[in-house]
Structure 1
Amino acid sequence: MPTVAILTALSLEYEAVLAHLTDVEKLTEPRYGTKAKRGRLPGTPWRVALVDMGEGTLTAAAITTHVLSWLDPEAVLLVGVAGGLKDDIEIGDVVVATKVYAIHGGKQTPDGFLARPEAWRASYRLMEAAKEALRGRAHFKPIAVGDVVLADADSELAQRIRTSFNDAVAIEMESSGVAHAVHLAGEAGALIIRGISDKADADKSRADAGGSQPQAAANAARAAVAVLRELEPKPTAPQPRDSDPREGPFRSSTDAPTYGGDHIDFRGSTFPGPFTAKSVGQPPHGDGQ
């Protein structure tokens, strides 16, 4: 079965996704010891490899790289919670990131901070599946990412985001690391799905204490499942019948040269010493010498 990797940063996000899987097995990456649980997603052709990678962009990039080389997933989904940045983004809403901004790149000058952001776009294939699965049930907007918990809507950072990343509707701490690692690998696509657990303001602690994080994580997990129910695995390239690997993937054995008489085909053969061919049951040639 084809594999999708789902990454989370918090245990409550991990548990929200795990609740949707069946036939779960434990996996350990042999070199670095990265742990995963892999299970089936009922009603889909997918196996899901679930990894609790921890918080922060650097950790996210490193663990994503491990997962890509270890499990070779067709797609990588980052599923979890985020803080909302817009008045029309409510606690409990789901945001699917069309674009991921790394907000801390820039130049500090006497005239202020000049943003020099990096940005990664979502996989077109995954975004098409998400739009079909979540139409009318999620916001498809950019998000901002930095190694910071934003809990002050009046701070200098909040103002900078409003000025330099005005279309970002949420902020969190891992997506840029995941998106960059997937971009460098060049095979799997990435999709970021976030449930809004607070408004990135002074009321963040109150919202968290009221149970907003588990609810937001559950909403994001349900959205991820809906996307995977819509997403189809990539088609497998057909292999030629009776192909000879020494002749290339598209050469049939019927195209190979044929030999008769006393010719012997030594292609691909190795011999530890001298080789002597002897005719068995055939009359000698000439005078028998």
Structure 2
Amino acid sequence: MPETQSTMAVLTALPLEHEAVLAHLTDVEKLTHPRYGTRARRGRLPGTPWQVALVDMGEGTLTAAALTERVLSWFEPEAVLFVGVAGGLKDDIEIGDVVVATKVYAIHGGKQTPDGFLGRPEAWHASHCLEQAAREALRGQAHFEPIAVGDVVLADGASELAARIRTSYNDAVAIEMEGSGVAHAVHLAGEAGALIIRGISDKADADKSRADSGGSQPRAAANAAAAAVAVLHELAPRQRPPQDADLDSAPPESPVRGPSYGGDHFDFRGSTFNGAFTAKSVDHRPDSGAGR
């Protein structure tokens, strides 16, 4: 697979989410990180310019943050999509719906006092470029709303945690366990963008087990994977800046061409040289005695 092809990282937390994305890829190869042993699948997404580096990370925000950073340094992707399932928090969000996170809340930060729990929320916004591509690709097919993230499976709509989410994160329409770790790691990296795409597999209440046993998770995972594929069909790779172009193919006078070594001299044509510079003029006439 050509290394020059643009790479998109797609991360999942559950095997069924991983398989839902993998079903869309061709020419898949297995890769192992040479130092840490992390496994990945890399394949082409037909009909797009993308090669996809797919990693099944496992559950939890800490794992997600650590492995997202590893994926960023390993594959140097243009962006990261986190694709999987979530619990719905609003009555108008149905099982099987797709939610694209416009904002990701980390819900467990705060201070416990005698007067109650005082929330100290953190939030990360979706990459504008990725969100715009998603809105175009999924127009009328997905909800674009904030989501809540915490290291807990919420299966009780009457719990203290559910009540706190309703009061402190009232605009969140879904809850899951990894998105804040992914978003934070990408934010710290400072270059790639992140987009969280979740299929709703339950209503984050006491009926969660019944919904799961009825096959809601594979359905939600398949819908999220299909949404991610649609986004990648809409999204174009970034254009390389001139300094990343093939300098060998540029003419000597080209502004993208830097100094070249000619065996016994440097050619600085088309380049900028900063600093002290001393030049020596040499008379090359046969009888000049130059160079003696």
Q: Same fold (TM over 0.5)?
A: yes
Give the direction of change, closer, same or farther, for the CA distance of 1:282–1:118 in structure 2 (3 Å limit): same
- Mapped to 2, the partners of 1:284 and 1:135 lie a distance apart of 78
1:278 maps to which residue? none
Deviation at residue 110 of structure 1 after TM alignment: 1.1
- Mapped to 2, the partners of 1:262 and 1:199 lie a distance apart of 86
Deviation at residue 7 of structure 1 after TM alignment: 0.1
SS for the counterpart of 2:135 is: helix
2:165 paired with 1:149 = no
Question: CA offsets, 1:68-119, max 9 Å, x none?
Answer: 0010000100000000000000000000000000000001111111110100
Deviation at residue 255 of structure 1 after TM alignment: 6.1
Deviation at residue 51 of structure 1 after TM alignment: 0.1
Deviation at residue 30 of structure 1 after TM alignment: 1.2
- Mapped to 1, the partners of 2:93 and 2:143 lie a distance apart of 8
Deviation at residue 160 of structure 1 after TM alignment: 0.2
* Letter of the 1:133 counterpart: A
Q: Which has the larger radius of gyration?
A: 1
2:203 paired with 1:196 = no
- Mapped to 1, the partners of 2:45 and 2:198 lie a distance apart of 20
Question: CA offsets, 1:158-202, max 9 Å, x none?
Answer: 000000000000000000000000000001000000000000000
Deviation at residue 258 of structure 1 after TM alignment: 8.9
2:94 paired with 1:90 = yes
2:258 maps to which residue? 244
Number of residues of Structure 1 aligned to a counterpart in Structure 2: 267
- Mapped to 2, the partners of 1:92 and 1:233 lie a distance apart of 29
- Mapped to 2, the partners of 1:123 and 1:110 lie a distance apart of 39
Show structure 1 runs of 5+ residues with no match. Answer: 264-280
Give the direction of change, closer, same or farther, for the CA distance of 1:115–1:246 in structure 2 (3 Å limit): farther
Query: Superposed, which structure 2 residues align to 1:16-165 within 5 Å?
Result: 16-165=20-169
Percent identity between matched residues is 76
SS for the counterpart of 1:38 is: strand
Give the direction of change, closer, same or farther, for the CA distance of 1:233–1:111 in structure 2 (3 Å limit): same
Deviation at residue 253 of structure 1 after TM alignment: 2.5
Give the direction of change, closer, same or farther, for the CA distance of 1:254–1:66 in structure 2 (3 Å limit): closer
Question: CA offsets, 1:122-174, max 9 Å, x none?
Answer: 00000000000001000000000000000000000000000000000000000
1:9 maps to which residue? 13
2:225 paired with 1:221 = yes
SS for the counterpart of 1:153 is: coil
- Mapped to 2, the partners of 1:285 and 1:137 lie a distance apart of 82
| TM-score w.r.t. length of structure 2 | 0.86
- Mapped to 1, the partners of 2:223 and 2:268 lie a distance apart of 52
Considering only aligned residues, what root-mean-square deviation do their CA atoms show, in Å? Answer: 2.3
Contact 2:258 2:270 in 1 (8 A): no
- Mapped to 1, the partners of 2:171 and 2:133 lie a distance apart of 22
Deviation at residue 261 of structure 1 after TM alignment: 3.7
SS for the counterpart of 1:167 is: coil
Show structure 2 runs of 5+ residues with no match. Answer: 262-266, 273-277
